[in-house]
Chain A
Amino acid sequence: MRLSIVVLSLSAAVFAQTPANILGLGSETDPSDGPSRGMGEAGEALRSDRSWDPRLEARSAFATQTALEVQLDPSIDMISDDQASNSVGGGGIPRVSLSVPMGRFGHLGLGYWQRFDKSFEWTDPADSSVEAIGQGGAFEGDVSYGYALPWLRGLALGVTYHRILGADRVTVNESWQAADEGLATAFSDTLQHSYWGSYWTGSVYFTRGPMDLGAWADLRGQATVTPYDGGTNQQFQQPQPYTMDLPRSAGFAAAYRFFQRQAVVADLEWTTWQATVSGAPDRWKGGVGWQSQGAGDRYDDFWKRASWRAGAYGIVGGDQYDLTEAATVGLGFPLGMQGAVDLSLHLGQNEVDNGGPKLKDTFVQLYVVLSGASSWGESLRSHK
């Protein structure tokens, strides 16, 4: 089983999305955890014994189980403009995380977050010998630490260190076939950016009774961007690295639990892109969601143990000039003794709203989130 998951995870990291990914750093992926994917990606504040979010580390200070989470997101995008439409398959591994509660010593989180995705594929309708392919994107390696304040019941603080790294690459390929040559000559022009930088996020979380509240804010960070040009039969100057201010976000999330297993969640996140991409508008993302938590008794009927979720989210602005609306539904069910599978289906559309030619993609995205939990490292918390 474990081997099959690894194989399937690797095979998922392929395919293209939309030409809109050419803008800015590419499309931005939300780092929500598995259950939150089904709740309009708004469940950051919903208290959990295993979940981790790189933005709201403070919530994980109350986690009691060590958890490994792997997310896959196969998708279908139907791209359309005024002249044509195409369907493209996509997919990736948006997040892998390890959440480790350390009892009275706090909580440690480790995570990989494929934050940006530059994937796209496009062929010139007027000349099918030329195609443009976008690949990769900057991702993050995150380390976080959370601590529940023992003298203020229900209050925790967290901090996350984000290491920006990775690279994106856009390649224009041409296959030139001379009439009297047996083999085509391949021409390839490539522009690649590699990223290396960091920023910090501070978070605060408060939970009491049915109410959970969380907030986070990024500190100013920078990344060194190194552009590499490449081309068949071309020679270039040495790469000239430059420094880029990273986008800064701040957000607020809330959750309210009722009727024992019901919960509603909401979040709002603001990101400023002005210092990163000149002229890019601020990005706002907001979502709402609902969850019906499955029964915790392992001897209950399987479907009674399943969790049902629904939600919606919207995005405006950002370096991709997004105008996104999406509805989500989710189903979580147990896997083995303490594992879980969370499936979330996102149906939505994304438009570029920069005043130029229309480009819209309607997407159906399935998040498959596998998580395994253990009591390793667990100890009773005196302040719980």
Chain B
Amino acid sequence: MYGKASVNLRISALLLAALLAGCGFTDATNQTGTAFLAAQGISISARDSFRITVPVLGVQVVPVEGIPSPNGLEALWLGGTLNDSIRAVVAFDLTNTTAPDAGFKAIQAVDSLASKYKLTRLSFGVGSGGDTDTSTPRQVHVRFLLMDSTNQNTWNLPALFMGAEPSALGLTPVVDRDSTFVASVNMGIPFGPALRDSVAARLKAAKPTWLVAILDGHPGWQSVFSVGDPRLRTDSVSGTGEGTFLPGEFQARAAWRSTEMRSSAAWNKSLGWWVGGGNRLRVTLDGNALRTLLHQRFGKGIVSDSFDNSFNVLQARVRVPFSAFNWVQGASADNRSLGIDGAVVLDSGSSALPTSAAMPISIQRYLTILGLTVDPYLQFDDSFPDILQCRYYQENTLADVPTRLSLGMGSSASYTSTNFWLRKDVPDSMEFRISAQVRVRVSHYPNDPNVHLHWSLLQGSPVADPQIGIGDTARPETRVSDTALANTSSPVVHQEARTSFSLAVIQRKVNVDVDIVPAGGSIGMQDLWEAEPSAANIMDSLGLIVRPRDGSEF
């Protein structure tokens, strides 16, 4: 009557039918039981949308993240924008026997040839290869310095690279004039007789010498270009690479650097990127005011000692108006954009360390108290009289610190440096992170005997809301301006920042900092722009869509 196979088949069919019975008669979603759940205190509160003034505790202007790039790390730029001059500084070590211009030095070893082939000009091309000529004449302010290659004089190089004026360092240029030139590998900027002969004499005497060229672009250029393949040239040797003199090296990197010389009319509170620098705007949100407002609107919520879990912020659109806006003409509008990210600041503090103390000075104790798993410390030294040199050590090992270019290029492993400089003759500061959680800002001011340290312990890495446009088009930042806009002189940005404002609502014991970060910083460096906010609190209004949380009622 039965066999093993037939029973198995029968049982399998029964099981399958039974299981399918549970699926086949199911409605798509169950919406029954609303009144019952409400009677148990479980109901879905209606969401509400409204616009408020952004409650703010304070606003800071902080430098873009990352240390300043030292010489030779970034490309060499020349130009003018934002009413600033973009300065290129190139240094040639005229008597370095290991320099890449050994061929020329061999020529110089023979006296007759040395007199025949004098170095007469500084030439360079444009573009990444440096071998592209242009026909457009440019007016540039040129200064040439000759410095004996002694320690005391060589120590001036970092300050010159950072933009210090020669006169402030006690240096007198041999040449100091405006020059109109065509960027060309065969032409360039002539030395003039005095410098030509001085260089020749020092070469002949084998006198250790640095020749430093300081080129200032005109602020009105509204453009910036790469100074490619700079070199000193003779008049008589044609072609490239032969009979020319290449830049020297300082601290094992090419001896050049560009910096943007901020005009005296530069905006004090601005957002933007410029050569060698840039500004972020940091807004500390007033979480208490925000919570009070929400509770007044929605009623009592779920509040614990440290957190307020009463609300889900579905949308938080901030309005950031700008009263003025400058950018490099012709640069991509995609790069004239900003991002907003928030970070919970668990702890913060500041201290001042006297630079008159015996160097090096370290600030280790201020960082180890933060509970980091690494043992970090910053060390300042007085190797150079006109700048402050700093190094970061981790576990007693000199560490690579990302420069602002590293972050602009999206790689914390590239474009790093083990030392960085702050100018002493002007207010200067920089900020970087340790282990993603500690922000350290170091500032120095003229005539101030102290270096100022400000640190913040973050709960985690700063987080930003992805901006995804309709049609899944990636929109990682919001554009500050676009050439298609009718009025680009006073743009208004609307940006989603729900994560930042959620954090501000939730955190009851600590503050939330929101950074408005300029996009840019790539090595292409065509995305120079600066915008001046018109609102005292940067973000003048906030459009919220909020729903009280009901999940914790279950």
Contacts and interface: CB of A to CB of B under 8 A. Distances in A.
A279 to B, nearest CB: 13
A335 B11 contact: yes
Interface in A117-153: 120-128, 130-132, 134
Contacts of B31: 84, 86, 122-125
Interface string A293-304: 000000001100
Contacts of A4: 12, 15
A343 B551 contact: no
Contacts of A183: 468, 472
A178 interface: yes
A336 B23 CA distance: 29
Contacts of A234: 307, 309, 312, 502, 506, 549
Interface string A149-178: 000000000000000000000111010101
B34 A191 contact: no
A74 B34 contact: no
A72 B15 contact: yes
Interface in A262-321: 301-302
Contacts of B50: none
B29 A22 contact: no
A334 to B, nearest CB: 8
A18 B32 CA distance: 9
Contacts of B536: none
A23 B39 CA distance: 11
Interface in A331-384: 335-336, 341, 343, 352, 356-359, 366, 368, 370
B368 to A, nearest CB: 25
B7 A88 contact: no
A83 interface: yes
B499 interface: yes
Interface string B534-547: 00000000000101
A130 B548 CA distance: 12
B110 interface: no
Interface string A181-219: 111010101110000000000000000000000000000
Contacts, number: 212
A87 interface: yes
Interface stretch (B40-48, B112-120, B322-330, B513-521): B40-48
A178 B315 contact: yes
A180 B35 contact: no
Given A87-B27, A178-B496, A301 B7 contact: no
A247 to B, nearest CB: 20
B1 interface: yes
Nearest to A227: B552
Interface string A69-100: 00010111001111111111111000000000
B24 to A, nearest CB: 8
Interface in B427-470: 467-470
B554 A22 contact: yes
A8 to B, nearest CB: 5
B26 interface: yes
Q: Which of B31, B315, B467 has the most CB atoms of chain A within a 10 A radius of its CB? A: B31
B550 interface: yes
Given A341-B11, A352-B36, A87 B25 contact: yes
B22 A74 contact: yes
A237 B107 CA distance: 76
Nearest to B34: A125
B549 A189 contact: yes
B111 interface: no
Interface residues of B, number: 65
A128 B30 CA distance: 11
Nearest to B33: A19
Interface in A209-252: 229, 231-237
B21 interface: yes
B507 interface: yes
Chain A CB within 10 A, most for which of B12, B26, B47, B502: B26
A25 interface: no
Contacts of A134: 554
Given A182-B468, A185-B314, A366 B21 contact: yes
Contacts of B23: 15, 89
Contact of A191 (B18, B25, B305, B551): B551
A87 B26 contact: yes
B503 interface: yes
B473 interface: yes
A336 B9 CA distance: 12
A81 B34 contact: yes
A344 B391 CA distance: 78
B554 A84 contact: no
Interface string A11-43: 110011011101100000000000000000000
A239 B407 CA distance: 38
A73 B24 CA distance: 15
A19 B19 CA distance: 22
Interface string B486-528: 0000000000101100110011000000000000000000000
Nearest to A15: B22
Given A72-B18, A366-B21, A127 B470 contact: no
Contacts of A22: 37, 40, 42, 554
Contact of A235 (B315, B472, B496, B507): B507
Contacts of A16: 30
Nearest to A125: B31
B35 A15 contact: no
B551 A301 contact: no
A20 B309 CA distance: 26
A237 B34 CA distance: 30
Contacts of B349: none
Contacts of A191: 551-552, 554
B306 interface: yes
Name which of A23, A124, A170 has the most chain B CB atoms within 10 A of its CB: A124
Contact of B30 (A5, A88, A172): A88
B11 A181 contact: no
Contact of A233 (B11, B470, B498): B498
A134 to B, nearest CB: 8
A5 B106 CA distance: 89
Most chain A Cβ neighbours within 10 Å, of B36, B315, B498, B547: B36
Contact of A72 (B19, B33, B306, B468): B19
Contacts of A189: 312, 549-552
B29 A121 contact: yes
Contacts of B545: 176
Given A74-B18, A231-B312, A235-B506, A182 B32 contact: no
A78 to B, nearest CB: 9
14 contacts: A1-B12, A72-B18, A91-B19, A121-B30, A126-B46, A170-B551, A187-B312, A229-B309, A231-B309, A233-B506, A236-B307, A341-B11, A356-B36, A366-B21
Given A8-B16, A132-B42, A234-B506, 4 more contacts: A5-B15, A229-B309, A233-B502, A341-B11
The 5 closest A-B pairs by CB, nearest first: A189-B551, A19-B33, A74-B22, A357-B35, A356-B39
